[in-house]
Amino acid sequence: MLPKRPDGFGVVGPTPHILRDRRLATIDFLAPPTSKRFVAHTGPVPRAVAARSTWRPKCPVPLAQLSYITMPFWGFDHERHTGEMIVNRAVVKDIITVFKELYQAHFPIEEMRVTSLPVQRAAPTGDINDTSSFECRHVTLGTTWSQHSYGLAVDINPFQNPYVRGDLVAPELARAYRNRGWRRPGMILPGDIVTGAFAKIGWGWGGNWTSLKDWMHFSQNGH
């Protein structure tokens, strides 16, 4: 655990050498895919999945408006894995289209899991790297609902694509990834396969923001 700053984030330190070019193997949470083809499954959010997610009645979107997707992805270990994601029902087809394109390009993703309350409330460790969509929370350092709270935003490989605002880096140990000129697997860069796939569905990228950079973040309304 990292010592906390006044804003609740961890104190930023240097990126450990082993994480400066992070390529950790995926730990399977769901059974690996049996087909080499991209096959996604979607439907209402199962009760057990909802119970381990961050959804609660106070969230700004009803559970019935959310969908649960399982789909394959390529890990940094060059193996196929099964990921899970909760998204807004209105964007299911678009999200599947994006991740099918990333899968076909063998774009590496370390982890794709539904965010849980224990993870959301845990003390900062600075090394989280979960690709996800729905998370019932406010915007970073703000009081309004995040687009993640509606299932209308996606974060991809947060460690390789951190949030940077002034002296804040999140995840906190991802300082080495502020250097976008050093191209490493899993990074999202202007004009690449990831930004191109989201541009096709009309989503905006936090890497284009000027007041701060949120390289992991894509959203339907660009916020």
pLDDT block averages, 10 residues each, the chain of length 223: 89 92 97 96 98 97 98 98 98 98 98 93 90 95 94 98 94 97 98 98 98 97 96
Q: What pLDDT does residue 1 have?
A: 86
Q: What pLDDT does residue 12 have?
A: 78
Q: What pLDDT does residue 52 have?
A: 96
* C-alpha dihedral, 43 to 220 to 106 to 19, nearest 10°: -110
CB half-sphere exposure, 8, CA atoms < 13 A: 7
Q: What pLDDT does residue 141 have?
A: 83
Q: What pLDDT does residue 123 have?
A: 84
Find tokens 């709270």 and name the residue.
Answer: 149
For residues 30 and 49, the answer to whether their CB atoms sit within 8 Å is no
Find tokens 């104190």 and name the residue.
Answer: 11
Q: What pLDDT does residue 103 have?
A: 98
